[in-house]
Amino acid sequence: MTGPRAGRSALAALCAGALAVACNSSKTVPATGLELIIASDLPASDFDDVRLEVSELEPGGTWSRVWDRDYVVPSSEATLPATFAIGSGASPNEQALVTVTAYRGGLTGTPVVQRVAQVQLPTDRMAALWMVLARLCEGQVKTTGAEGEAVSTCGSGESCQPGNGQCGSNVIGDPASLPTYVPDQNLDAGIVRGLTLGDAGVPGVAPPGDDGQDATSARNDATTTDAQGDNAASDDGGQAANDSGMENTDASDAGTDAATNDAGDAGPTCPAPTDIDGGLLVYYPFEGDTNDRSGNGNNGSATTGTDLTYGPAKVGQGATILPAGRGIAVNGSTTLGPARTLCAWVNAATGTAGGGLPIVVAGATGAADLYDVATVSPNDNCGTQIKNTLLIDDWVAPCTRSTLAPAPGAWSFVCFAQSATSTTFFMNGATSSASTSAYPAALSAITVGSDRVGGSTTQVVFKGQLDEISIWSAPLSTADMNALYAGGSGCSLR
């Protein structure tokens, strides 16, 4: 680690291979090559370690790693944003593959978010490349192999794009599109542009030419261009020398809005709940996977084509649990206490008879809470149940019932907000209350869309579609549930 550069930390790189990299303690920047600016809009509590890997493309077409190191952040050795210089060598066609991964719990902990970029090194100048660890991409990384290597959940050669949360190519096709790095530039002016840059044509990122946007416009449209006219359509590409960085509070807020407003699940961004701080434990938007976008890494386990399928739903895509499927098993070591909220967009199939349709089931046999939508002809062993209404089977007769009835064949937003002694049922802006209590349950004992614990009140799978599942560690207020309902339009939490 070198001394700070422009008020930020500069990560020393390895002097090996064809890539000439800055490895001394001076503030000298190579004359030509690439200056990485590693930044994040994640809450500081979401990660504590950043791993940086740099590889070069050998003549035979294989990648040779020249730098691999993790940094505790924040610490005396690294504070984001941080810079990392890669100098170009004699060849005009040198390719670098850069991977930045944030971890929670150190390098042996849980990978939270990853950004990957492949770029040809400029030989005529020092270009700036922003590598943004975006909140919108949380959960789109997994471990694989005996050594637990962190890899993107996207396809080969792809990773999550920070401007829209969708999978996209790692390759920056035109290095000339990257702006020139200016030594000692101010990195505190905002992260909006660093977050929203991406290949032209990628959903949520406009092609270049929209000069003159202010921060509000950039947040609303998730697009931007360099103030000097530089092409801002490259992956994580940089920006004008005096419009970069992210560390102050205002800049971080702007970056978060930019990243989430045009999220991959195509909905507007939900406002943050006002009555709990950090209470979101699980968020499954079902955008073609069961990744947890809450930032906690509590990804769901399910097999596409066996347990579920994905298709157009209320907000982007949603999940349909297959008749022989097992639903989605939630993962995580956190215990969900009796105070909780579970929310979802539900679209129950029409004409379904029998037991309730399981939205979420929390707990083990004999000590579980089953959150259901009753059917046309309820089969309810714990009391009379009105057809199509919301109920909770808490393994104690009678079930906790409501008068709220989501219409089959139509989307309804429902929540079960529970304190230690009562439940507020929520559906499309209406509420119904009842006295009840809930069993504590580990997240790993929760399933979505299926009943794996038995009992006679609930069917094996939810028949219909589910979307935007969220689990919270406290009861949301009616105002917050209405905000998530968004007047019936729905919204993306992140």
Q: Which residue has the higher pLDDT, 421 or 456?
A: 421
Encoding tokens for residue 25?
């303690």
**Mean per-residue pLDDT for 140-145?**
88
**Contact by Cβ (8 Å): 240, 228:** yes
pLDDT on residue 3:
26
**Contact by Cβ (8 Å): 168, 158:** yes
Q: What type of residue is 87?
A: G
Question: In the block, which residue shows the tokens 């504070």?
Answer: 79
pLDDT on residue 57:
87
What is the C-alpha separation between 100 and 305, in angstroms, rounded?
32
- For the ranges 93-102, 285-294, 371-380, the lowest mean pLDDT is seen at 371-380
- The Cβ of residue 157 has, within 10 Å, a number of other Cβ atoms equal to 13
**Mean per-residue pLDDT for 178-191?**
62
Question: In the block, which residue shows the tokens 């066996």?
Answer: 306
> What pTM does this model have?
0.50
Q: Which residue has the higher pLDDT, 152 or 12?
A: 152
Encoding tokens for residue 99?
């991977």
Report the candidate in 136, 82, 81, 78 with the shortest Cα–Cα distance to residue 112: 136
Q: What type of residue is 462?
A: F
Reply yes or no on whether the pLDDT at 12 is more than 60: no
- pLDDT tens digits for range 37-73: 888 888 888 899 999 999 988 888 889 888 899 899 8
**Contact by Cβ (8 Å): 119, 34:** yes
Encoding tokens for residue 171?
């390759």
Confidence of residue 467 (pLDDT cuts 50, 70, 90): very high
Report the candidate in 282, 286, 292, 290 with the shortest Cα–Cα distance to residue 312: 286
What is the C-alpha separation between 222 and 217, in angstroms, rounded?
8
The most distant pair of C-alpha atoms in the chain lies apart, rounded to whole Å, by 80
Query: In 349-492, where do the E strands start and end?
Result: 357-364, 367-373, 390-393, 400-401, 412-418, 422-427, 430-435, 441-442, 446-448, 464-472
Q: What type of residue is 303?
A: T
Confidence of residue 30 (pLDDT cuts 50, 70, 90): confident
The per-residue pLDDT of the chain, averaged, comes to: 75
The residues pairing with 158 across neighbouring beta strands, listed in sequence order, are 169
Encoding tokens for residue 70?
């993790």
Q: What type of residue is 194?
A: G
Would you list the domain boundaries of the chain?
9-261, 280-488
| Phi (first) and psi of residue 253, to 5 degrees | -60, -45
pLDDT on residue 163:
72
pLDDT on residue 267:
63
- For the ranges 208-212, 328-332, 360-364, the lowest mean pLDDT is seen at 208-212
DSSP 8-state code for residue 222: T
Tell me which CATH code domain 280-488 carries: 2.60.120.200
Report the candidate in 339, 4, 362, 399 with the shortest Cα–Cα distance to residue 183: 4
